[in-house]
Amino acid sequence: MAKTVVCFGDSNTFGYDPQTGGRFDENTRWPKLLQKLLGDDYEVIEEGQNGRNITNADPWEGGTKCGMDYVLPMIETKRPDLLMIMLGTNDLKIKFNLPAADIAGSLITMIMNIKAYCRHYLGDPDMKILIISPPAFSEPFGESYFALFFDKDTVVQKSIELAPLYKLAAEQHDCYFLNATEQVSAGSVDHLHLDPEGHAKMAQIVKEKIKEIL
């Protein structure tokens, strides 16, 4: 039976195309490339959403962007062998005014809720979790058309600060960790989203990590 892997993330998992504002095709998005790299022994499920954050409802975007609201029912229906979480980029928005440490704290809350839900509600304590630090923003971010939504003077550094905090969270809560921040960064179009080369790189490094885990 194929191993089920869920890619749970935001626009960089959805495959947002910064050139067009649309979506990259199946030959470009990293979860689809990951499926090709892993082959038929794995089922890779895309669960990316533009604007998704970790624990904020975000009423400015219809109240539908809170990852915590969706992750538990999604786990119940998909029943993954491995859940990969790559979130935190949208939590850096200036409207939330969160330091990197508080974003990592939100991630810990999500991890604890997931583990409790799997153990006590689904009777499945063995589901593995891989925490991926999201690719860092690139400079000069002030030129991005998304700069108005972030503190352009601090957000690049804050995006880099997430990685060591996520690593600590993963270690403390018995999860796996992949530092995508040090291997992949946002492309030069909007300094926030991955370009096709970044998607290809993400697929490769995630494939290597999955092979270590499953």
pTM score of the predicted model: 0.97
Calculate what percentage of the chain has a pLDDT beyond 90.
Answer: 97
Domains and CATH numbers, the chain: 3-213 (3.40.50.1110)
pLDDT in tens, 152-199: 999 999 999 999 999 999 999 999 999 999 999 899 999 999 999 999
CB proximity list for 65: less than 8 A, separation 6 or greater: 49, 51, 52, 53, 56, 57, 58, 90
Provide the residue type at 66 as one letter: C
Angle at 64 between CA 61 and CA 67, to 5 degrees: 120
CB proximity list for 161: less than 8 A, separation 6 or greater: 100
pLDDT at 122: 96
- Count other C-beta atoms under 10 Å from residue 180's C-beta: 23
pLDDT in tens, 21-80: 999 999 999 999 999 999 999 999 999 999 999 999 898 989 999 999 999 999 999 999
CB proximity list for 153: less than 8 A, separation 6 or greater: none
CB 122 within 8 A of CB 76: yes
Beta-bridge partner residues of 42: 3
How is residue 29 written in tokens? Answer: 């998005």
State which H helix or E strand residue 178 sits in: strand 176-179
CB proximity list for 186: less than 8 A, separation 6 or greater: 135, 136, 137, 138, 192, 193, 194, 198
Average pLDDT over residues 107-122: 98
Whole-number Å distance between alpha carbons of 199 and 4: 20
Closest CA to 151 of 73, 99, 210, 207: 99
Whole-number Å distance between alpha carbons of 191 and 155: 11
Place of tokens 């630090």: 133
Return the biggest CA–CA distance within the chain.
Answer: 49
